[in-house]
Amino acid sequence: GESVGLHLPTLSVQEGDNSIINCAYSNSASDYFIWYKQESGKGPQFIIDIRSNMDKRQGQRVTVLLNKTVKHLSLQIAATQPGDSAVYFCAENMDTGNQFYFGTGTSLTVIP
Amino acid sequence: ETGVTQTPRHLVMGMTNKKSLKCEQHLGHNAMYWYKQSAKKPLELMFVYSLEERVENNSVPSRFSPECPNSSHLFLHLHTLQPEDSALYLCASSLSGVVHLDEQYFGPGTRLTVT
| Closest Cα in chain A to B88 | A43
Higher pLDDT, A65 or A27: A65
- Strands A10-14 and A106-111, sheet pairing: parallel
pLDDT at A3: 44
| Portion of chain A with pLDDT greater than 70, in percent | 89
Tens-digit pLDDT profile for residues B78-102: 999 999 999 999 999 998 866 666 7
pLDDT digits (tens, 9 = 90+) for B28-74: 999 999 999 998 788 999 998 988 888 777 789 999 999 999 999 99
**A5 part of a folded domain:** no
In a domain, A41, yes or no: yes
A9/chain B closest Cα distance in angstroms:
9
User: Could you tell me if residue A59 is inside a domain?
Assistant: yes
Q: CA nearest A46: which of A102, A107, A110?
A: A102
Query: Residue B19: which residues within 8 A CB-CB, separation 6 or more?
Result: B11, B13, B77, B78
**Structural domain for A98, as ranges:** 10-111
CB contacts, 8 Å: B90 with chain A: 43-44
Q: Does B7 touch chain A (CB under 8 A)?
A: no
Number of domains in chain A: 1
Report yes or no on A4 lying in a domain.
no
**Between residues A90 and A101, the one the model is more confident about:** A90
Over residues A9-27, the mean pLDDT reads: 93
pLDDT in tens, A26-59: 788 888 899 999 998 899 999 999 999 999 999 9
A24-38, A55-69, A75-89: range with lowest mean pLDDT: A24-38
Cβ-proximal residues to A61 (8 Å cutoff; 6+ apart), any chain: A77, A78, A79
A1 lies in a domain?
no
- Does A48 reside within a domain? yes
Task: Flag whether A57 is in a domain.
Answer: yes
Task: Please report which confidence band the pLDDT of residue A6 belongs to, taking 50, 70 and 90 as the band edges.
Answer: very low
Mean pLDDT of chain A: 88
Pairwise CB contact (< 8 Å): B42 & A100: no
Q: What CATH number does the domain containing A19 carry?
A: 2.60.40.10
Q: Does B111 have pLDDT greater than 80?
A: yes
A2 in any annotated domain: no
First to last CA, chain A: 41
Nearest to A86 by CA among A33, A27, A19, A28: A19
Q: Do A41 and B108 touch (CB under 8 A)?
A: yes
Q: Are B110 and B9 in contact (CB under 8 A)?
A: yes
